Structure 1
Amino acid sequence: MKNIVLFASGAGSNAENIALFFKNRPGVKVSYILSNRSDAGVLQRAKKLNIKTKVFDKEMFFHSDKVLYFLKELSPDLIVLAGFLWLVPQKIVEAFPGRIINIHPALLPKYGGKGMYGRHVHRAVIENGEKESGITIHYVNDKYDDGDIIFQARCPVLEGDTPETLAERVHRLEYEHYPRVIARILEKRQSPG
């Protein structure tokens, strides 16, 4: 059984989309959703989907090994960041080499880095007069939005776009492609034991 662990900080629509995609697929399971916010909407979505959750704080994530050891116990084939806004500590990245991925709501390497998420990204893309935007799925390293790119999909930036209208187009790309890319990565990977 391939084991996916999701990390999310917000409403969790991407996490829910991924969980639903794999719900009836044999051999793959979303075993846990972890969040750094006890009020995150993703926790309610997880409850409805009967997926276990764990909430952690900065101390547990950055200054202790609690989250690291918890992940090691879960032995995930893939750790998927779905709207998770904290930088993953190097010790976690090193413990799961090539097994942590993230989705970014723009075409990297442009418009990445700390603070480049949600509306901030879409506003920057529009203000800079870009003709297209999209999504980037990439491996996670110890810097924001810096890991090797796995997949990109594009959409136009239309005249009169607002951060909200562009976000809708980008979200559609996320929902369409992220689960499929995860499935492809898992197909190429042998289960650990």
Structure 2
Amino acid sequence: MKKIIIFASGSGTNAENIIKYFQNKKNAVVTHVFSNKLGAKVLKRAHDLKVKALHFDRESFYDTNEVLHILKDANPDLIVLAGFLWIFPKKIIDAFPDKVINIHPALLPKYGGKGMYGSRVHEAIIQNGEKESGITIHYVNENYDEGAVIFQAKTEIKESFTPEDLAKAIHNLEYKHFPPVIEKVLGLESK
């Protein structure tokens, strides 16, 4: 059985969706959820779904290698960033080559990079009068949102759309596509 570890910084709706998806499968399981925010709802969601939920601070992530050691001990087949806002350390990426992926709420390379997350992305897209947006699932490298693209899905932006309307459309794409793409990256057949 393949092991997945999720990193998230916020409410964790994508993490919850992924956990539930794989609870109904026999080929992979989410073993841990890590968060850099002690009060993040994702930790409670993971706990409620009987998945180990761990909080870490900046020092244990970047300086002391504590998070890296926990990851090595857990030996995941894939590390999934689902709304995780810190840049991932090169030492973790190097320890897990081609095993760290992220989802971004826009069609990269547009609207990516430092500071482009959540509602900021949707507001910029609406403000610029874009006709479409979407999601990008990509490998993680040492730069924000610059790793090789694995998958993209698009949605039309109606003239009446507010950033909140776009956010809802993007969430629907994330919930629909992220778990099966994870399955494909793991080399598993979707059943």
Q: TM-score range by the shorter chain?
A: over 0.9
TM-score, structure 2 length as denominator? 0.97
* Distance in 2 of aligned mates of 1:24 and 1:14: 16
Provide Cα deviations, 1:93-137, integer angstroms capped at 9, x if missing partner.
111110000000000000000110011000111111110000000
Q: How does 1:89-128 map to 2 (within 5 A)?
A: 89-128=89-128
Pair 1:33 & 2:50 matched: no
Q: What SS class does the counterpart of residue 10 from structure 1 fall into?
A: coil
Pair 1:66 & 2:66 matched: yes
Report what 1:191 is aligned to: none
* Distance in 2 of aligned mates of 1:56 and 1:100: 18
TM-score, structure 1 length as denominator? 0.96
Provide Cα deviations, 1:71-113, integer angstroms capped at 9, x if missing partner.
0000000000010000001101111110000000000000000
Cα RMSD (Å): 1.1
- Cα displacement (A) at 1:27: 2.6
Q: How does 1:37-186 map to 2 (within 5 A)?
A: 37-186=37-186
* Distance in 2 of aligned mates of 1:109 and 1:2: 30
* Distance in 1 of aligned mates of 2:178 and 2:24: 17
* Distance in 1 of aligned mates of 2:13 and 2:76: 21
Using the aligned pairs only, state the percent identity: 57
* Distance in 1 of aligned mates of 2:23 and 2:122: 31
Q: What SS class does the counterpart of residue 44 from structure 1 fall into?
A: helix
**Aligned partner letter, 2:85:** L
The runs of at least 4 consecutive aligned structure 1 residues that moved more than 4 Å come to: none
**Aligned partner letter, 1:29:** V
Q: What SS class does the counterpart of residue 187 from structure 1 fall into?
A: coil
Q: What SS class does the counterpart of residue 135 from structure 1 fall into?
A: strand
**Aligned partner letter, 1:57:** D
- In structure 2, stretches of 5+ residues that fail to align are none
Number of equivalenced pairs: 189
Q: What SS class does the counterpart of residue 103 from structure 2 fall into?
A: strand
Report what 2:20 is aligned to: 20
**Aligned partner letter, 1:154:** K
Report what 1:11 is aligned to: 11
